Structure 1
Amino acid sequence: MSWRMPAETEPHTCTWMAWPSSGYTLGDDPDEARQAWASVALAVAEFEPVRMVVDPSARREARHWLGRAVEYFEAPLDDAWMRDFGPTFVVGPAGLGAVDWVFNGWGQQSWATWERDARIARQVAEWAGATVIGSDMVNEGGGIHVDGRGTVLVTETVQLDPGRNPGWTRQRVEGELRRTLGAENVVWLPRGLTRDYGEFGTRGHVDIVATMTAPGTVLLHVQPDPRHPDHTLDPVLRGVFPTDWTILDLPAPEGLEDDGGPVDHSYVNHLVCNAGVVACTFDDPRDAAALDILAAAYPGRRVLGVDARAIFARGGGIHCITQQEPAIPGGLS
């Protein structure tokens, strides 16, 4: 069967999320995490339905923060990064499919636990009525970006990570992306942002670096300040894309550091919804300009900014905690 992963700009049935209930995501200030996840869920709910997976131990807290704004589904959870351990939805002649990648805690990170999260993709697929497409490749949804027409962005330090897929070659990865997502053209970025290689990083997820707004058009994270280590990354990444592509610069916020060192704050890590875009903001002087760039990149969609600093402090952004379920033409899903 031929499967295709739709672009994020195509219509959605809903967005799936997971509620933070344990581990480092809750951190020293659990209500800060709950507020951040709730703010994203409520923003997405302005554009499309939100389906929230909640650990049974956290049902009361989730309903306190979200009320009736979302639909609840209960399952045991380790963490709350739905983009990464949830299914990657695809479409095909039989309707909706869901790729169940192998999830091993972002390359077997020492702090991560994932026994429960590794089962969530199949559970969500069942709730969504999707055909499960199994895969032997360790991968996360934040490690790929597609244009819906056969082009996929990845990074060498994720899919070829020895902690994820020891011994795999580019050819083997590309073959698996072709089988599961319908990938015909794989663009390999050499690496991701510097902070993403720290203790709680993913080792280079592409969804914080670059995204395609349309075939042949990429929004690229740019760090203008030479004092930040990601400043030298721009020419390296820019040279990867075909010369006939349009590259739209999306400058990083002015803030350079937090208690953990150089930040990876990025406006690229946004979610495209039905008629809207939910974008990261950082209480930063560049927030307004970034939202304007996103509005121009997605004409006809309302851009809604949400403070994402608490999410980034825990290792990701808005795109990382959400996963869109595409609508099926003809209403098969």
Structure 2
Amino acid sequence: MHRRAICSVFCAMLAALLAGCASGAEPSWSGDEEQSPRPTVLAAGDPVDATPPSGYRVPAEYEPVRAVLITWRDYIDVLGPVAAASAAAGARVLAVKGPPSIPGVPPQQYQSLDYSTNSAWVRDYGPVGINEATHTLGMVDTQYGVRARNTADDAIPCKLAATLHSPCYGTKLVFDGGNYMTDGRGNAFLSRRIYEWNSGMRREAVDAALQTYLGARTIHIFDYATDPSGRPADGTGHIDMFAKLVGECKVIVAETSDEPFRSVTEDAANYFRDLACGSGRYQVTRVKGWVSNGTWYTYTNSLIVNRTVIMPFYNAAEQNVAAQRAYESAMPGYRVVGVNSESSIGDGGAIHCLTREIPSLGSP
């Protein structure tokens, strides 16, 4: 084959790899098994006896961040810029199966972790950082559920805890991190998927586990968009696909005329407008979302790293500009960075789903 032709073939293959190829990457769900209620099943060796001590809390995502965890296997075109922006915001970058270096990430802020992994969706199987009364870090190992990825991925939280010399607390609760928001003061926000996943447990038992392991004192439950068969219309049913806490008493909620998302997003926006917070109510900022070729495009699937917001951009320039302005309006003083997430959104997630922040240590 001619040298130029060989180069063309190689470059095309490399471009496809770097794009994360939605057709070849593991989506954030895994077929019918992922769409139906999942019984609580423990993997061999899972720690289920240890519970966090009293005096801990789960920080809000807009609180200081010490590191960002990613898995370097799919959607590299998204993860590379996210890693660089995270480092620029003062966070270390921890990359499972990461390369020797990542452009834009200083060596002193980077660490590759040689863990086995099944997918790139670190938000769902990743650790939950905990600020304890002793100002030390801990991890919570929830159950990743019955799916093809509940082996290597499900082991990562406790492996990372060992790497960071932190305790790891195990629970039988089936839980995806993309379906959890907190204000860091005990208010937890989830979609009703949490009860469907744990259909073998009474609702009171699920709430008790959220309180024990995630520091949730008040639990707020939202509906999620479903297709005609009753399955999640976005593939996940996660709250991060339509809402984002961005500060004290501040939330961004998707806005759309496309059903079945319209009614869900309107209900969520109205709920927050009526929800007491401090001496008033939540400030609600709306940002456009839409459905195209069966994919739900959302800007709420973003990552906050200290004073920087890393938000998804798509091949929709006008919508990108409007969404960036919405973030800037809701979060004055923050740097807003857009990263094209077309390669991942069709598989059920964007920047939030592909990352997991590790909080800085300290008191509120």
Fold equivalence (TM over 0.5): yes
8 Å Cα contact 1:192-1:206 kept in structure 2: no
Aligned position for 2:291? 256
8 Å Cα contact 2:226-2:232 kept in structure 1: no
How far apart in 1 are the matches of 2:225 and 2:305?
25
Consecutive unaligned residues in structure 1, runs of 5 or more: 21-25, 27-32
TM-score between both structures, scaled by the size of structure 1: 0.82
8 Å Cα contact 1:15-1:48 kept in structure 2: no
Which one of the candidate residues 69, 74, 78 is aligned to 2:114? Answer: 74
8 Å Cα contact 1:44-1:50 kept in structure 2: yes
Which one of the candidate residues 70, 77, 90 is aligned to 1:35? Answer: 77
Deviations 1:70-94 (A, max 9, x none): 3211111111111111111111123
With over 3 angstroms needed to count, the CA separation of the structure-2 counterparts of 1:301 and 1:129, relative to structure 1, is farther
Where does 1:274-293 land on structure 2 (aligned, <5 Å)? 274-284=306-316, 285-293=318-326
How far apart in 2 are the matches of 1:192 and 1:14?
32
How far apart in 2 are the matches of 1:187 and 1:323?
22
Which one of the candidate residues 111, 120, 125 is aligned to 2:161? Answer: 125
Q: Are positions 1:272 and 2:286 aligned together?
A: no
Which one of the candidate residues 235, 254, 259 is aligned to 1:201? Answer: 235
Structure 1 residue 68: Cα displacement: 5.3
Which one of the candidate residues 297, 307, 322 is aligned to 2:340? Answer: 307
Aligned position for 2:29? none
How far apart in 2 are the matches of 1:311 and 1:210?
18
Residue aligned with 1:293, SS: helix
Q: Are positions 1:16 and 2:65 aligned together?
A: no
Where does 1:93-108 land on structure 2 (aligned, <5 Å)? 93-94=133-134, 95-104=136-145, 108=146
**Which residue identity is paired with 2:128?**
T
8 Å Cα contact 1:194-1:230 kept in structure 2: no
Residue aligned with 1:98, SS: strand
How far apart in 1 are the matches of 2:248 and 2:226?
23
How far apart in 1 are the matches of 2:131 and 2:288?
34
8 Å Cα contact 2:255-2:262 kept in structure 1: yes
How far apart in 2 are the matches of 1:200 and 1:243?
26
Q: Are positions 1:191 and 2:227 aligned together?
A: no
Identity, in percent, stands at 25
Structure 1 residue 141: Cα displacement: 1.3
With over 3 angstroms needed to count, the CA separation of the structure-2 counterparts of 1:250 and 1:323, relative to structure 1, is same
Q: Are positions 1:182 and 2:235 aligned together?
A: no
Aligned-CA RMSD value = 2.5
Aligned position for 2:179? 143
Q: Are positions 1:234 and 2:274 aligned together?
A: no
Structure 1 residue 53: Cα displacement: 3.3
Residue aligned with 1:113, SS: coil
Aligned position for 2:355? 322
Structure 1 residue 243: Cα displacement: 4.3
8 Å Cα contact 1:192-1:205 kept in structure 2: no
TM-score between both structures, scaled by the size of structure 2: 0.75
**Which residue identity is paired with 1:270?**
S
Consecutive unaligned residues in structure 2, runs of 5 or more: 1-52
**Which residue identity is paired with 2:337?**
L
How far apart in 1 are the matches of 2:202 and 2:268?
21
Aligned position for 1:87? 127
How far apart in 2 are the matches of 1:7 and 1:42?
22
Deviations 1:194-242 (A, max 9, x none): 699469822x11111112223433211111x34x432232333334444
How far apart in 2 are the matches of 1:217 and 1:237?
13
How far apart in 2 are the matches of 1:54 and 1:165?
28
Structure 1 residue 7: Cα displacement: 0.9
